[in-house]
A and B are shown apart, each in its own frame.
Chain A
Amino acid sequence: MAAGVGTAAPKGHIGRAMKRKEDPRLIQGLGRYVEDIALPGMVYAGIVRSPHAHAKIRSIDTSKAQTAPGVVAVLTGEDIRGAIAPVPCAIQMPDLKMALRPVLATDRVRCVGEGVAVVVGSDKYAVRDALDLIEVDYAPLPAVVDPEKAISKGASVIHSQHKDNVAYKWELEGGDLKKAFAQADKVIRQRMINQRLIPVPMETRGVVAEYRAGEKKLTVWSATQIPHLLRTQLAAMLGAPEHSVQVIAPEVGGGFGSKLNVYAEEALVAHLAMRLAKPVKWIESRRENFQATIHGRDQIVDAEVAVKNDGTLLGLRCRVIADLGAYFQLLTPLVPTLTGLMIAGCYKIPAVRVEITGVFTNKMATDAYRGAGRPEATYIIERVLDLVAAELKKDPAEVRRKNFPKPKEFPYAAPTGLVYDSADYQTSLDTALKLANYPKLRQEQDRLRKKGRYMGIGLSTYVEVCGMGPSSAMPAGGWESGTVRVEPTGKVTVLTGSSPHGQGQETTFAQIAAEMLGLDPEDVNVLHGDTTAVPYGIGTFGSRATAVGGTAMYLSLVKVRDKLSQMAGHILAEDPKKMVFEGGKVYSKSAPKKSLDFAAVVGAAYTAKTLPAGMEPGVEATTFFEPSNFVFPFGAHICVVEVDAETGDVRLQKYVAVDDCGNVINPLLVDGQIHGGIVQSVGQAMFEEAVYDEQGQLITGELMDYAIPRAADLPRIQTARTVTPSPVNPMGVKGVGEAGTIGSTPAIVNAVVDALAPFGVRHVDMPVKRERIWRLIRQAREGR
C-alpha cells in the first residue's frame, strides 16, 4: 500500500494492479444505470419505427392509440415540427453533402428503424400495446443497399436535395506514388471488405428527462460517453439556454463508440418532459439498438501495393468505398478518413494514396465503433504485408521487420502527414515471436500439414493513433478538463471531463492522485458524468481518458501539490521546494522528522489564518489540457488457428498479444482492455456481420441472429507488454481502450489464410464462417 515515510520517491500506486473502486457497488447490484432511475410521476415513451428501408409516408393514424388505456400522448413528426432541430453532425469537410436525420420522420423514411411517432404512457406495457395501434400508410420506394450500386448510374437518389448518393470524396497523398509503382518489382492487388458491425454494448441506450418548471431546469440522464457535448447539442436542438440544461451520464453499461453520439431520442425525450410537464423515460429495446444505434466499419477497399523483390514496400494505393448509411450521426463522415490517415501502419512506405468515397445507402448510419477507422486501416495494411510475404515466399515476420522504422527515427513523420510519437516495433514483434515460440509453431504446422491437418499462424504488428487528440484535429476540441479539489479534511475530490463507461477511471485516476499527494486511493473520489458538477469536458472515446483526461488531472495535482508545499513550507519554516508527500504526511527532505499531517496542511489553507503572503485560501485547481499531438500505441499479436477442412470450422488455438501503451497506471485494467478489445475483434473476424437484404431489411436484427463471442469460443490470451513512454504527456502514457480491437482482426484472418495456404487460398473475407471456408476448400479441391 502507501509507501512509508522516509522512502525516496512514492512509487506505491502508479503501476499497481489495484482492485477497482467501482466494483463493490457493481457486484452487489447497486450500480445506478439509466433504466434504474425512477422519478415520481414518471411516464414511459416508446417509438414507432419504420419497417421499410425507403418509403414515402402517406399518412399516420394515431386515433386508436390516443384513446388506448394508459396513453398520455401520441406525437408524430408533424406534431414536433420546428420544435426540435435534426440530429447533429459535427463534421465539416469540403464539398460534404449533409444528410441530417429528423428526430421523427415526416414525409419520408430512409432506413429501417427510423422513428415516425412516439407514444407516451403511464406504464411500459400500455405503451407497448399502443405502439401496435398506430397505423402508418407507407408507399415503399426502391431501397439502395449495396454501396457500389448506390453510386452507379441509375441508382435511386436517397436525398433529393443532392444529385446522387455520393456524400463526399476525400483524398490523401504523400510521396511520389508514380515513381514507387514504376520502380516496383511486383505490384500486388487485393479487394478486402471490412463488414458492417453492430456495437452491442450490453446496456442498450436509454434516456430519462425531467423538467422542473419553477427552476426552468431540464435534467437529462442518458447512457452517453459525452455528457458535456450532449448538453451543448441538446441545448441547440431544443433551443434551450445551455445553462438550464443538465446532462448526467450515470453508470453506463458499455459504449464502444455507440454512445459517443447525439441521438434523436435524447432530444425527443427531453422535449416530451418539457411538453408534458412529467418526467419521461425511454429505454431502447435490443431490437431498436440493432436498428437505430450506430453501426461500425462497412468499407470496401481495393488495395495495390508496389514492392521490391526483397520485400521493401515502395508504395500503397487504396480506393475505399465507405457505406455511411442514410443519415449522418455525430461523426459519420469522419470515421473513414481515419482509415486513410493510418493506412501506412507501422511501416516506412515512401508513397501512399488513399481515395475515399463516402456513400449514402438506406441503412443505419455508420459511425465510431471501437477503433473507428483504424481497425480497418490495420486490417488492410496487415493483410497487405501477408500478401507480400506470400507472393515473395518470405516469412511474414521477415517482411515486417524489413519495413519498420527504427526507434531512433522517432518522432517519425509518416507519409500520411501524422507524426508518430515513439515506438520500438522490432522489440514488440521479437517479444511476441519469442512468447509464442514461433519457430516451434512453424515446425508444428509442417508436421500437422503432413497429417492433413491445417494449422495457421497469423501475425499482426499494429500501430494506432489515439489520445484524441489535438483540438486542431477534433471537431469539438480535443482537450480535456481535470479538477482536483482537496476538501478541508484532506480527502480529495477529482472532477474529470472524461466520462467512463467501464474503463475504470474512478480507480486509475485515484491511483494517480494518491501517488501525487502521498495518500491512499481510498482518500480520493473521482466524480464524472454530471455536467452541473464537473467543468466542461469532451468525454471518453478514442482511447483518450488517461492520456488527455489523466494528464489534465495530473497537471491540476501538480498545482495543488505546489500550493500545499508552499503552505507546509510556511508552517514548518522549510523550503517549499523540498516538500515530500508520503503516507498522509508532508515533510521536508531536509528535516523528515518534522512532519505535518496532510490534512493539517490542507486545513490551514482553508482556515486561512496564516497564509503565506499572496496565497488565496482553499485548495483547488482546474486544468484544461491541450495535447500537442496524438499518441501512438503499438504492438504485435500472434494468433494460431486450426481449420477443419471437412467442415470449414475455425478454432482459435492460441493468442499472444504484446502491447505497448507507454507507462501503465494499472496493469490489471490494461489487461482487461486488451482482452476485451481482442475478443471484440474476434467477433469481427469470426462471427459478426450486420446483414441487410436487398429490400434493406436488417436480417441480423437481434442477438439471435447476430453472434457476438461467447466464453467458449476463445482460448486463454497470453499478454505481455513493452514500455515505450510517450513524449506527448508528462506521465508518458498512451491509450489502450482500442488497441486490442485494432491489432487483432488481421492476426486472426492472416492465421486462417495461412492455414488454407495448401489450398492456394490467398485471401478470405470476414467473418471467417464455416460456410465461407468450406466453400473455399471445396472450390480448391474441385479445381484440382
Chain B
Amino acid sequence: MDIQLRVNGKPQHSAVEPRLLLVHYLRDVLGLTGTHVGCETSICGACTVLMDGRAVKSCTVLAVQSDGADVTTIEGLAWAPEAGGALHPVQEGFWEKHGLQCGFCTPGMILSAVNLLQNNPEPTEAQIRQGIGGNLCRCTGYQHIVDAVQFAAKKMRPKAKSRK
C-alpha cells in the first residue's frame, strides 16, 4: 500500500506491506533507529513517537495508519538539529539531571515527556509520575527522570506558547 506522511518534517512516500508496523517502517525503511522496540505489546513505551503531536506507541501502530500524519521521532526533536546541539529542553533536562543510564527507554521517555508538557506545561511531581506511566525504565528508578521533566517545564514556561 502507498503511504504519504511527514517524518521529522520531511515528506515521505513509500509502498509498504499492510502489516508493517510503524516502528519497523521508521527503523528499517527510513533508518531512524532512535526509536526502540522494548516489548512489542505497547507496555514499555520505548517505541513512543509523536503522531500529529500526540504520543503513540509505534510498535502497535501500523505504518498504513500513519498515512497523512506528521510523525516526530527522537531524531527530529532537537529544535535545530542541523545547527548541531540545539537540544529540546526535555533532552537538555535528561542530560542535566542524569535522567538516563542505559539510554534504551530514553527516546520514548523523552517523547512522552514532551507530550505531557504540551498538555500540562506546569505539572506537579505526581502528575509527571502519572504522565510517564506508559513508559518503563529499569535503570534510573525514575527520580532523575522526574527531575529532568521539571527542569524542562521550568525552561519551557516562557516559550511554551511559541512551540507547536
Chain A minimum-CB-distance residue to B142? A711
Of the candidates A503, A704, A708, the one whose C-beta lies within 8 Å of that of B138 is: A708
Contacting chain B: which of A196-204, A238-246, A291-299, A342-350? A196-204
- Is A164 part of the binding interface, using a Cβ–Cβ cutoff of 8 Å? no
State in angstroms the CA–CA spacing of A201 and B136 once bound together. 10
Of the candidates B101, B128, B143, the one whose C-beta lies within 8 Å of that of A503 is: B101
- Is B145 part of the binding interface, using a Cβ–Cβ cutoff of 8 Å? yes
A659-700, CB under 8 A of B: which get 1 and which 0?
000000000110110011111100000000000000000000
Chain B minimum-CB-distance residue to A255? B102
Contacting chain B: which of A18-26, A374-382, A446-454, A756-764? A18-26
- Is B17 part of the binding interface, using a Cβ–Cβ cutoff of 8 Å? yes
State in angstroms the CA–CA spacing of A693 and B33 once bound together. 38
Q: Is the CB of A31 within 8 A of B103?
A: yes
* Min C-beta distance of B102 to chain A, whole Å: 3
A225-263, CB under 8 A of B: which get 1 and which 0?
000000000000000000000000001111010000000
Q: Is the CB of A35 within 8 A of B33?
A: yes
Q: Is the CB of B101 within 8 A of A29?
A: no
Contacting chain A: which of B41-49, B50-58, B63-71, B155-163? B41-49
Chain A minimum-CB-distance residue to B110? A27
- Is A205 part of the binding interface, using a Cβ–Cβ cutoff of 8 Å? no
Chain A minimum-CB-distance residue to B131? A711
State in angstroms the CA–CA spacing of A254 and B91 once bound together. 20
Query: Which residues of B lie under 8 Å from residue A202 when comparing CB positions?
Result: 36, 38, 44, 46, 102, 104-105, 136-139
Query: Which residues of B lie under 8 Å from residue A27 when comparing CB positions?
Result: 74, 87, 91, 94-95, 100, 103, 106-107, 110
Query: Which residues of A lie under 8 Å from residue B39 when comparing CB positions?
Result: 286, 702-703
Question: For chain B residues 67-119, which have a beta carbon within 8 Å of chain A?
Answer: 73-75, 77-78, 81, 87, 91, 94-96, 98, 100-107, 110
Q: Is the CB of B144 within 8 A of A203?
A: no
Q: Is the CB of B95 within 8 A of A19?
A: yes
State in angstroms the CA–CA spacing of A474 and B105 once bound together. 33
Contacting chain B: which of A425-433, A510-518, A601-609, A712-720? A712-720
* Min C-beta distance of A765 to chain B, whole Å: 23
State in angstroms the CA–CA spacing of A680 and B19 once bound together. 36
Select the residue from B35, B96, B138, B145 with max chain A CB neighbours within 10 A: B138
Chain B minimum-CB-distance residue to A714? B142
Q: Is the CB of B95 within 8 A of A672?
A: no
Q: Is the CB of B95 within 8 A of A679?
A: no
- Is A501 part of the binding interface, using a Cβ–Cβ cutoff of 8 Å? yes
Chain A minimum-CB-distance residue to B111? A29
Main secondary structure of the interface of A (DSSP, over half): loop
Query: Which residues of A lie under 8 Å from residue B32 when comparing CB positions?
Result: 29
- Is B146 part of the binding interface, using a Cβ–Cβ cutoff of 8 Å? yes
Given known contacts A679-B142, A711-B128, A23 and B100 CB-to-CB distance under 8 angstroms: yes
Q: Is the CB of A675 within 8 A of B133?
A: no
Select the residue from B32, B40, B96 with max chain A CB neighbours within 10 A: B40
Q: Is the CB of B33 within 8 A of A29?
A: yes
Chain B minimum-CB-distance residue to A504? B101
Of the candidates A200, A283, A502, the one whose C-beta lies within 8 Å of that of B102 is: A502
* Min C-beta distance of B58 to chain A, whole Å: 13
Query: Which residues of A lie under 8 Å from residue B106 when comparing CB positions?
Result: 26-27
- Is B154 part of the binding interface, using a Cβ–Cβ cutoff of 8 Å? no
Chain B minimum-CB-distance residue to A500? B102
Question: For chain A residues 384-434, which have a beta carbon within 8 Å of chain B?
Answer: none
- Is A443 part of the binding interface, using a Cβ–Cβ cutoff of 8 Å? no
Q: Is the CB of B95 within 8 A of A23?
A: yes
State in angstroms the CA–CA spacing of A502 and B144 once bound together. 14
- Is B34 part of the binding interface, using a Cβ–Cβ cutoff of 8 Å? yes
Q: Is the CB of B136 within 8 A of A203?
A: no
Q: Is the CB of A254 within 8 A of B139?
A: yes
Question: For chain B residues 13-45, which have a beta carbon within 8 Å of chain A?
Answer: 17, 19-20, 24, 27, 31-41, 43-44
- Is A275 part of the binding interface, using a Cβ–Cβ cutoff of 8 Å? no
Q: Is the CB of A286 within 8 A of B38?
A: yes
Given known contacts A503-B101, A669-B98, A712 and B38 CB-to-CB distance under 8 angstroms: no
Chain B minimum-CB-distance residue to A287? B40
Q: Is the CB of B102 within 8 A of A254?
A: yes
Q: Is the CB of B103 within 8 A of A22?
A: yes
Query: Which residues of B lie under 8 Å from residue A679 when comparing CB positions?
Result: 140-142
Query: Which residues of A lie under 8 Å from residue B136 when comparing CB positions?
Result: 202, 703, 708, 710
Query: Which residues of B lie under 8 Å from residue A185 when comparing CB positions?
Result: none
- Is A28 part of the binding interface, using a Cβ–Cβ cutoff of 8 Å? yes
Question: For chain A residues 727-750, which have a beta carbon within 8 Å of chain B?
Answer: 740
Q: Is the CB of A672 within 8 A of B37?
A: no
Chain B minimum-CB-distance residue to A678? B141
Given known contacts A28-B34, A703-B39, A33 and B133 CB-to-CB distance under 8 angstroms: no
Query: Which residues of A lie under 8 Å from residue B145 when comparing CB positions?
Result: 711
What are 25 A-B pairs at a CB distance below 8 A?
A19-B98, A27-B74, A27-B95, A27-B106, A27-B107, A29-B73, A29-B74, A29-B107, A30-B75, A200-B138, A202-B46, A203-B38, A253-B36, A253-B104, A256-B138, A285-B40, A675-B142, A676-B138, A704-B43, A711-B130, A711-B145, A712-B130, A714-B143, A717-B141, A740-B141
The 6 closest A-B pairs by CB, nearest first: A29-B34, A253-B104, A502-B102, A26-B103, A675-B141, A679-B141
For the A-B complex with A27-B74, A254-B138, A711-B145 known, give 18 more contacts whose Cβ atoms are closer than 8 Å. Answer: A23-B95, A26-B106, A29-B73, A30-B34, A32-B33, A36-B27, A36-B33, A201-B104, A202-B137, A253-B104, A285-B40, A668-B98, A675-B140, A680-B141, A703-B41, A709-B142, A712-B129, A714-B143
